[in-house]
Structure 1
Amino acid sequence: MSLQTLSEWLRCPNCSLPLHPGGALVLKCDAGHSFDVNKRGFVSLAGQARRLIGDSIAMVDARDLFLGTGWYDPLRDRIADRVAAEHPGRLLDIGCGTGYYLRGILDRVPGIRVLGMDLSPSAVGRTVAGQSGVDGLVADVWSPLPVRDGAADVLLNVFAPRNPPEFHRILTDDGLLAVVVPQERHLRELRQAGLALDVPSNKVAHLVETLAPFFRLEAAEDLCSTLSLEPIQIAALIGMGPSAHHTDAGALTDQLSAVQTVTAAFHLLSFRRLAYPSR
Structure 2
Amino acid sequence: MTLASLAEWLRCPHCGSPLTDAAPLTLRCENGHAFDANKRGYVNLVAANDRMTGDDAAMLDARDAFLGAGHYEPIRDALAAAVPSAAERIVDAGCGTGYYLAGVLGTAGNSDTRALGFDLSPEAVRRTVRATGSDGVVADTWRPLPLRDGCADAVITVFAPRNLPEFHRILRTDGRLIVVVPSGTHLRELRADGRALDVPADKAERLQEEASSLFDVIGVERVAYAMELDGAAVEHLLGMGPAARHREAASDGRSESVTASVDIVRLRRH
Give TM class, smaller chain: over 0.9
1:263 corresponds to = 259
CA distance in 2, matches of 1:141, 1:173: 21
Q: Secondary structure at the match of 2:262?
A: strand
Q: Secondary structure at the match of 2:250?
A: helix
Listed as ranges, the gaps of 5+ residues in structure 1 are 275-279
2:96 corresponds to = 97
- The alignment's TM-score, normalised by the length of structure 2, stands at 0.96
Amino acid in structure 2 at the alignment position of 1:50? D
In the TM superposition, structure 1's runs of 4+ consecutive aligned residues that sit over 4 Å from their partners are none
**Cα displacement (A) at 1:165:** 1.1
1:273 corresponds to = 269
Q: Secondary structure at the match of 1:252?
A: coil
**Cα displacement (A) at 1:247:** 2.2
Identity %: 50
Listed as ranges, the gaps of 5+ residues in structure 2 are none
- The alignment's TM-score, normalised by the length of structure 1, stands at 0.93
Q: Secondary structure at the match of 1:40?
A: coil
CA distance in 1, matches of 2:127, 2:215: 31
**Cα displacement (A) at 1:173:** 0.5
Q: Are the equivalent residues in 1 in contact too, given 2:102–2:131 (CA < 8 A)?
A: no
Q: Using a 3 Å threshold, how does the CA distance of structure 1 residues 187 and 140 change in structure 2: closer, same or farther?
A: same
Q: Deviations over 1:88-122 (max 9, x none)?
A: 11000001000001111111113210000000011
1:107 corresponds to = 106
Q: Secondary structure at the match of 1:137?
A: strand
**Cα displacement (A) at 1:149:** 0.4
TM-align CA RMSD: 1.2
2:87 corresponds to = 88
**Cα displacement (A) at 1:204:** 1.7
CA distance in 2, matches of 1:61, 1:210: 33
**Cα displacement (A) at 1:87:** 1.1
Q: Deviations over 1:165-211 (max 9, x none)?
A: 11111000000000000000000000011000000122122111111
**Cα displacement (A) at 1:81:** 1.1
Q: Using a 3 Å threshold, how does the CA distance of structure 1 residues 130 and 190 change in structure 2: closer, same or farther?
A: closer
